[in-house]
Amino acid sequence: MGFLHKSAWLSVMLLLSLGLAQAATTEQEDARAAKALLEKALAYYHDNGDKAFAAFSRQGEFVDKDRYVFVVNTQGVMLASGGPSSVLIGRDVSNALEPDVRKGFQEVLKKPESNGIQQTEYHWRNWADGKVERKHVFYQRVGERILAVGYYQPRASAEQAKALLDKAAADLTKDEKGTLTAINSLKGGYLQDDLYVFVVDLNTRRYLGHGTTLRLINTDFSRIKDPEGKPVGEPILQMMATQDQGEYEYRWKNPVTAKVEDKHAYLKKAGHLLVAVGYYSP
C-alpha cells in the first residue's frame, strides 16, 4: 500500500514537471517567434523606411497568429500596427495606457538606438479573445521610430500565485473590511491575469470574497463542486481544519481562457479566514 502511494505521488510529480516544462517550452517558442518577427520587420524597415508602415498595418507576412508588428514614434504616436491597435494609428497611444503602465512606456521611448533589441512587459487587449492580458514585448529604436512585436502571457506562474496569496493574507490581517472590498471590486491588485483571490469565513463556511465571481459571495463554500460534480469545498475545509496552510488541485474555469483547466491552489489561514490563490496548469 505504501509503495503504491509513493508510486502515485511520483507519477503526479512527474506529470506536474512535464506540464511546467511544456509551459516553459511554449513561452520560449513564443519569445523566439516574436523576436524573429521583429528582426524580419527591422530588416524590411531598413530597406524601405517609412514606406514599410503599409505592410506592417495589413494582414500578411508581418502578422503571425496573435503576434504582430507595431511602430510608434518617440513622442508615443502609433504609426503602424497589424493588430487591434491599428485603430490607434495617428494617436498618442500613451493616453490609452493605464497610469501605472504609462511611466514604463515613457521610459521605453527614451531608450537610445544603440541599445539594440530590448524587452518589456505591460497589459494590452488580446484581439484573439478580447481580454486584457499580460504582454511581453521585444522592441528596438531606429532613429525616431520604435518597432516592436509582442506575445501574450495569459498564464501566471506558481511563484506569482504564492506572492499574491501572501499579499492578500497580510492585507486581510491588517484591514479585513477594506481588503475584502478591494477583492470584490475586481481590482486593487488582487486580480492579476488568471490569478485571483477568494476568501472563506471558516466559522460560517461561506464566501466573503471572490476575485472574479461575485455571485458566490455568501454562498456555502462546502457545497462547491467542480464542473464535473466532484466536491471541492468540503475536502479543502477538511484539510484546513488541521493545518494553517496547504495545497489542493482541482478543475476550474480559467477567467482568461474561459476554459475548464487544471488548477493548483495555495491555501492559507488568516485568523478566521481561509485565503486562496491558484494558478492554472497548461
* pLDDT tens-place string over residues 164-192: 999 999 999 999 999 999 999 976 689 88
Which range among 100-114, 139-153, 225-239, 259-273 shows the weakest confidence by mean pLDDT? 100-114
Other CB atoms closer than 10 Å to residue 13's CB: what's the count?
A: 10
What pLDDT band is residue 13 in, cutting at 50, 70 and 90?
very low
Dihedral angle computed from the Cα positions of residues 33, 36, 42 and 44, in that order, rounded to the nearest 10 degrees: -90
What pLDDT band is residue 53 in, cutting at 50, 70 and 90?
very high
Averaged pLDDT score across all residues of the chain? 84
Higher pLDDT, 31 or 281: 31
What pLDDT band is residue 15 in, cutting at 50, 70 and 90?
very low
What pLDDT band is residue 9 in, cutting at 50, 70 and 90?
very low
Show the cell assigned to 235: 475536502
Q: Tell me the percentage of the chain whose pLDDT exceeds 70.
A: 82
Q: What is the largest CA-CA distance in the chain?
A: 71
Give the long-range contacts of residues 48-55, CB within 8 A, separation 24 or more. Answer: 50/79, 50/145, 52/80, 53/79, 53/80, 54/80
What does residue 160 show for φ and ψ, rounded to 5 degrees? Answer: -65, -35
Domains of the chain: 12-152 (3.30.450.20), 158-280 (3.30.450.20)
Dihedral angle computed from the Cα positions of residues 35, 125, 187 and 156, in that order, rounded to the nearest 10 degrees: -40
